[in-house]
Structure formats: structure tokens, C-alpha cells
């Protein structure tokens, strides 16, 4: 089978897979629906609303939210206030400020959470198409069976802005805030991972909060200039290493 590879700047197509910009051996995260959903609470601070995707399966979804905190920044959403179904994303806000509008930036992928194949959808488009083994790029219509197609958005990681930091983290309730400049002039999609150093567990994706006992937490938020990671330990001060990816994809 023919394999398409694209090297990163300064690299070569013979580089290890993790160093490549693209390889047709791996499916891209193809985003079919991107937008901002405004959800307004009632007099009790509650609200229900939804976004329809009608894919017929549980898609991979990335979500950011703005408005819960009064700083106007976009936070990686915890997922407490929305639930993914096979046809919708349902919002269920409870205990928020009354008569207030909150905003959710959503990115719904054609990929299933388990990257399984399937049939029945007509959502493949674009002139450049690479199918999964056993499927035809010329005739396939369901995004689950594709490696890549140019009619959908694919997250674009900026390797020069992405990286890691190691920082001494304060214990609860005093947060350590690490500021990462990006200077893009807009709010980018980003991701974070607690890589090492925490006695509460490493490998936690951002955000991660110990609700039961309090203390340990790591959250991520962004504005048009910086990415911020707010960190707390549940015990003594620790040295954490956090890895992050900043994309060129825009939230706002």
C-alpha cells in the first residue's frame, strides 16, 4: 500500500512517525462542526440546550467554555455541564448565575471516540482524500472510513509555540499560574498534559480536579496573547512538568 508522508520543516520523511507532520498510516482528527453555542440561564441559574450532530455514534469532541469565571478567558471545559450522545451534545447547567449567558466553543469530529469504521453518513468532501485500508477514497462517503479528506478542518499544531515547562507548584489554596505567551492575536485551541512530578497522579489531561478531597487541580485557559495553566497540589510543594500543544486553530 502506498504511504503518504510529509516531513516537518528541517526534517525528513525517514524520520520517526512522531516527528512527521503527516502520515497516511494514521487517521487525522477531521472536524465537521465548529462553532460557539450561547446558553442562557433562567432565574434559578439553570439551563438546558443542545447542539445536533446526527452522526449516529459518539464522536470525538473538544470543548472550551467562557463565562463561568468573570475574567473573559476561554477555559478547557471539564465536561461536567455537557453530555455527548449519538445525535447531540446536551447542555445541563445548574447553579450558575441567574439570567446570564455562557459560551461553549465546540469542535465535533467525524472520528468515533474509538476510531472505528462505519457506514450510513454522507459527510466526506474535498479534492484530496485518503481512505482507510479496504475503502475507496474515490467513492467513500462516511468520514469514519477516512484517514484524511480536505473538506474537513484538521487541527494544525504550531510546533514552535508548543512545548513544556517545569515549575514549583504551591499547595492548596494558593495557585501557581504559569503564563505561556503565544501572541497570535486570537484565542487558539490548545491542550495540556500533567507529565510528571505530582503525587496525585501523572498523565492527567488538563483540566483535572480532585473534587472529593480538594487541593489538587490543574486548569488551562487562554486569551488572545497567552495560555495560562493554574496549578495546585494537595500536599507539600512539588515540581511538576506540564506538556502543552498550541494550535493555529481559532476559538475567538
Angstrom CA distances, 52 to 38, 83, 93, 109, 219, stand at 14, 12, 17, 13, 28
Q: Where on the phi/psi map is residue 115: left (φ > 0), alpha (ψ -120 to 50), or beta?
A: left
Task: Look up the domain containing 97 and give its range.
Answer: 31-112
pLDDT above 90 covers a percentage of the chain that reads: 80
- Same domain for 140 and 203, yes or no, is no
Residues 209 and 90 in one domain: no
- Residue 214 has a pLDDT of 66
Count of domains forming the chain: 3
Indicate whether 19 and 139 sit together in one domain. yes
State the DSSP code for 132. Answer: P
Q: Do residue 105 and residue 183 come from a single domain?
A: no
- Examine residue 117 and state whether it is found in any structural domain, yes or no: no
In a domain, 121, yes or no: no
- Whether residue 53 lies inside any domain: the answer is yes
Cell numbers at 221, concatenated: 485557559
Model confidence over 56-114: pLDDT tens digits? 999 999 999 999 888 999 999 988 889 999 999 999 999 899 999 999 999 999 999 99
DSSP lists the bridge partners of residue 217 as: 209, 232
Residue 158 lies in a domain: no
Distance CA(41)–CA(47), nearest Å, equals 5
Please give the Cα distance from 40 to 22 (Å, whole number): 41
Q: Is residue 145 domain-shared with residue 220, that is, in the same domain?
A: no
**Same domain membership, residue 140 and residue 23:** yes
At 174 the pLDDT is: 85
Q: Are residues 167 and 105 in the same domain?
A: no
**Cβ 188 vs Cβ 222: under 8 Å:** yes
Q: Is residue 99 part of a domain?
A: yes
> Is the domain of 22 the same as that of 133?
yes
Residue 1, pLDDT > 70, answer no
Helix (H) or strand (E) holding 37: strand 31-40
- Are 189 and 182 in contact, with CB atoms under 8 Å apart? no
Read off the pLDDT of each residue in 247-252 and give the average, rounded to a whole number. 97
Could you read off the pLDDT of 220-243 as tens digits, one per residue?
A: 999 999 999 999 998 889 999 999
User: Around Cβ 99, how many Cβ atoms within 10 Å?
Assistant: 11
**Interacting residues of 80 by C-beta distance below 8 A, sequence separation 6+:** none
pLDDT in tens, 132-179: 999 999 999 999 999 999 999 999 999 999 999 999 999 888 899 999
133 class by beta-carbon count within 10 Å (0-12 exposed, 13-18 middle, 19+ buried): exposed
CB-based contact 222:230 (threshold 8 Å): no
With respect to residue 120, please indicate whether it lies within any of the assigned structural domains.
no
CATH number at residue 206: 2.60.40
On whether both 55 and 82 belong to a single domain, the answer is yes
Please check whether residue 214 lies inside any domain of the structure: yes
Whether residue 147 is found in the same domain as residue 186: no
Q: Alpha-carbon torsion 166, 168, 170, 176, what sign?
A: negative
- Direct distance between the N- and C-terminal alpha carbons of the chain, in angstroms, rounded to an integer: 41
User: 38 and 18 in one domain?
Assistant: no
64 and 137 assigned to the same domain: no
187, HSE (Cβ side, Cα atoms, 13 Å): 16
Percent of the chain with pLDDT over 70: 98
Whose cell is 465537521? That residue is 32
Query: Distance between CA 46 and CA 98 in Å, rounded?
Result: 7
Residue 119 belongs to some domain of the structure: no
Q: Which residue has the cell 512517525?
A: 17
Amino acid at each position: 500500500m502506498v504511504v503518504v508522508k510529509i516531513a516537518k520543516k528541517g526534517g525528513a520523511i525517514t524520520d520517526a512517525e512522531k516527528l512527521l507532520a503527516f502520515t497516511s498510516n494514521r487517521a487525522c482528527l477531521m472536524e465537521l462542526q465548529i462553532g460557539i453555542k450561547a446558553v442562557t440561564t433562567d432565574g434559578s441559574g439553570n439551563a438546558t440546550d443542545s447542539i445536533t450532530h446526527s452522526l449516529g455514534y459518539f464522536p470525538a469532541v473538544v470543548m472550551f467554555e467562557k463565562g463561568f469565571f468573570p475574567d473573559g478567558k476561554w477555559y478547557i471545559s471539564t465536561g461536567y455541564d455537557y453530555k455527548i450522545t449519538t445525535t447531540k451534545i446536551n447542555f445541563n447547567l445548574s447553579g450558575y448565575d441567574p439570567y446570564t449567558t455562557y459560551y461553549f466553543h465546540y469542535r465535533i469530529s467525524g472520528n468515533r471516540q474509538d476510531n472505528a469504521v462505519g457506514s450510513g453518513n454522507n459527510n466526506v468532501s474535498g479534492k484530496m482524500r485518503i481512505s482507510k485500508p479496504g475503502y475507496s477514497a474515490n467513492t467513500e462517503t462516511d468520514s469514519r472510513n477516512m484517514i484524511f479528506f480536505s473538506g474537513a478542518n484538521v487541527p494544525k499544531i504550531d510546533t514552535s509555540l508548543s512545548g513544556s515547562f517545569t515549575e514549583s507548584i504551591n499547595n492548596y489554596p494558593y495557585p501557581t499560574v504559569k503564563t505561556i505567551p503565544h501572541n497570535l492575536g486570537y484565542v487558539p485551541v490548545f491542550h495540556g498534559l500533567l507529565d510528571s512530578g505530582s503525587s496525585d497522579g501523572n498523565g492527567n489531561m488538563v483540566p483535572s480536579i480532585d473534587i472529593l478531597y480538594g487541593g489538587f487541580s490543574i486548569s488551562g485557559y487562554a486569551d488572545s496573547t497567552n495560555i495560562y495553566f493554574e496549578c495546585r497540589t494537595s500536599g507539600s510543594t512539588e515540581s511538576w512538568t506540564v506538556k502543552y500543544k498550541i494550535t493555529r486553530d481559532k476559538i475567538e
